[in-house]
């Protein structure tokens, strides 16, 4: 079994959000080879977030497979850039 890599950051700007990323890294193929990732968003204070079933204090995104990890990373990078472009929001650095 591969080592699990974990990183986290907290962001505060009126509300608080903790973002955690865990993965065992690329394992040489699709999810059947055992590679996985998990991204967790946790509401620390007054963060309105949710999914199609309502507001939540914690959201988890999971994916398996090497290409899926790369695709999710690329998609999230794009989403962050587009959100800043569309809303002209400033960058809040992690603490």
Asked whether the beta carbons of 26 and 66 are under 8 A apart, the reply is: yes
Asked whether the beta carbons of 64 and 30 are under 8 A apart, the reply is: yes
> What is the reported pTM?
0.82
Residue-level pLDDT at 8: 97
**DSSP string computed for 50-67:** EETTEE-SEEEEEEEBHH
Average pLDDT per consecutive 10 residues, the chain (95 residues; last block may be shorter): 89 91 90 90 90 88 93 94 82 56
Asked whether the beta carbons of 1 and 24 are under 8 A apart, the reply is: yes
């Amino acid at each position: 079994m591969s080592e699990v890599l974990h990183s986290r950051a907290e962001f505060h700007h009126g509300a608080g959000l903790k973002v955690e990323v865990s993965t065992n890294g690329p394992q040489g193929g699709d999810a059947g080879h055992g590679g996985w990732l998990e991204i967790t968003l946790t509401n620390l204070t007054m963060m309105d977030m949710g999914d199609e079933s309502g507001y939540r204090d914690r959201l988890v995104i999971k994916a398996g497979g090497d290409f899926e990890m790369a695709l999710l990373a690329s998609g999230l990078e794009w989403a962050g850039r587009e959100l800043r472009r569309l809303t002209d929001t400033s960058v809040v650095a992690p603490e």
